[in-house]
Amino acid sequence: MLRYFYFLSFLSFCCGFTFWESNKINYPQDYFGSPVTHKILLSGTFGELRPNHLHAGIDIKALQGKTGEPILAAAEGHISRINVKSGGYGKAIYMDHPNGYTTVYAHLQKFSPEVEAFIKKEQYARKQFELTIYPDSSLFNFAKGDKIGTLGLSGRSFGPHLHFEIRDTNTEEPINPLLFGIHIEDKLKPLIQGIKVYELNEQKETIQEKKYPINKKGGSYSIAKDTLYIASWRAAFGIETYDQMNGAPNKNGVYTLDLLVDDSLTYSFNMERFSFEETRYINAHLDYKERINNKDYFNRCFILPGNKLSIYEKILDDGIIELSTYKAKKISFQCTDVHGNQSKLYFWVKRKEVEAPITDVYNYKLLYAEENIVQTSELELYFPQGCLYENLYLKYLSSIDTSYNTYSKVFHIHDKETAIHKFFDLSIKTTGMPIDAYDKAFIAYCNKDGSFTNCGGLWSGQYLTTKVRELGDYCIKVDNEAPEIKLLNISKSTIAFKITDNFNTSRNVAGLKMDARVDGNWILFEWDAKNDLLKHTFDGSLSSGKHHLLLKVEDALGNVSLFEQEFLL
């Protein structure tokens, strides 16, 4: 008996090793060092579920939550790319290394002095703040541990941290940095917060869904009743689970998730690596409705037919489970982080009496594997192949809107809870628009908070056409208002403005254009889009005395605001 116990212990150890250590042997363990000087605490893990994308790196918390600490080269290499953006990664460095990998350092406050001077020279030469540069490989070379910049919160960062990536240089595929031997203290098991049952029809389409809370006692998870009775012939499951780490309260993404049916592995994913071309398929992987409505991240443990993610290691019958009234099936979840810490949940399911489903009313059936066209006398939609993750029973109606500067009906195109993968064409017919307003018109997306997003548009007769990637409510609006320029301060060190516009713009529409001149010469202002902040820091190149500042701000519809003022240095 004791020998049997030792055998089980050894088997358990081997299985644990096979689970996460096997991936680590594919990657160098001592090559990359820490990019920060302090103990690493994470606020985000690789592959974590995010809005419209998988997280491509790890987010390392700032020491004491402050900007300015040094960022170090994780290994010997040269800078192959430098990005400066008002959103996204903000100020970012890409370093190529001799071993075939690239590291990425994003949301920086500043670059190293020599890189900072190079970028500033390029910005003045091109007369633009945002740029992407690919320096010659001989220009910026660093040894492992050299300072390459300082930690910040530039771009779309809402707290000081370093976004750090390791990529395959040839494919640019991001790889989980924690598989490269970078030390993180982590002895905590993942958290399980809820499960979701999807009742499916013969076409494997969801006809009903229900969430169940999770009970936790000690280190064990369970549901209120050990058996769930489900009113369908087949079912699928989703789970809300997050990784936890020592010293950080953040709820991060798990490394792998397994679903077993009667102790047989049916579904498994692994966050080892992926490609940027596939990252938007996350909207087929997660429960999009839960994210939109509740900001909860449920992993679907079954595959929608239009899902092309490569993260899945094993899938049987698309993760869909046939149910029986005679015999319960055991459902087991195993949620594991990259360090092998694992949480489990299991329960049983049986089929109960299946009632005839309520027939849902819809206007059009759109097939996920085909292109789809919807045409009415006032609206046209064209969905190219690959837009949908599953067949869509599209509901559509319109309503009259007499609000200011609205020149069409409001078209209610299905709902905001359904994810769309690709851009589709939307054409809306105008009603009662004055001829002189046509060049100020755009298709507006109606947000839940009552605001509108400018989605652009080109005229073809009475129809305004653009490309959008969300279902929901749309109409035609006109924008005659120029952006607002508010001076925050002019001092001997900085000039700062708050720049706001009455409409946001979608990603396929150009945002605000800004041009600043001092004494007729272009001057560099940094644009912080998330805070609507435009700022210039004096560097000593201007002489003392009186100067003339002219700032021009133009929105997507050509509405222009000017600010003009004399100032002293």
pTM of the model: 0.93
* Distance of alpha carbon 506 from alpha carbon 426, whole angstroms: 14
pLDDT at 527: 96
Buried b (16+ CB within 10 A) or exposed e, 123-140: beeeeebeeebebeeeeb
Domain boundary among 302, 328, 351: 351
Strands, DSSP E only, in 97-224?
A: 101-111, 131-133, 141-142, 147-151, 161-168, 174-175, 191-200, 206-213, 215-217, 220-222
Q: For residue 385, count other CB atoms closer than 10 A to its CB.
A: 13
Structural domain includes residue 22: no
Q: Are 523 and 516 in contact (CB under 8 A)?
A: yes
CA distance 523 to 512: 17
**Count of beta carbons in the 10 Å neighbourhood of residue 29:** 11
Tokens read off for 39 = 């103990």
Please tell me what DSSP assigns to residue 262: T
> Is residue 462 domain-shared with residue 492, that is, in the same domain?
no
Q: Where among 438, 454, 478 does a domain terminate?
A: 478
Q: State pLDDT tens for residues 479-523.
A: 999 999 999 999 989 999 999 999 999 988 989 999 999 999 999
Say whether both 261 and 312 belong to one domain. yes
In contact, 227 and 347? CB cutoff 8 Å: yes
Query: Largest Cα–Cα distance in the chain?
Result: 92
pLDDT at 61: 96
Same domain, 165 and 147: yes
d(CA 348, CA 330): 4
- Same domain for 553 and 437: no
Can you state the percent helix, strand and coil of the chain, rounding each to 5? Answer: 15, 45, 45
144 φ/ψ angles, rounded to the nearest 5 degrees:
-60, 130
26 in a structural domain = no
pLDDT band at 16; cut points 50, 70, 90: very low
Residues 174 and 201 in one domain: no
Distance CA 388, CA 374 (A): 15
Sequence-distant (≥ 6) Cβ neighbours of residue 57 within 8 angstroms: 44, 46, 104, 106, 163, 164, 165, 166, 174, 177
b/e string for 428-455 if b means 16 or more Cβ within 10 A?
A: bbbeebeeebeebbbbbbbeeeeebbbb
- Residue 8 domain-assigned? no
The answer to whether residue 358 sits within a structural domain is no
Please state, in angstroms and rounded to a whole number, the distance separating the CA atoms of residues 195 and 333.
10
- Is there a single domain that holds both residue 77 and residue 172? yes
Give tens-digit pLDDT for 412-432: 999 999 999 999 999 999 988
Listed residues 427, 452, 478: the one ending a domain = 478
pLDDT of residue 569: 87
For residue 426, the domain's CATH number is 2.60.220.30
* Averaged pLDDT, 235-263: 96
pLDDT of res. 402: 83
81 falls within a domain? yes
Asked if pLDDT for residue 78 goes beyond 60, the answer is yes
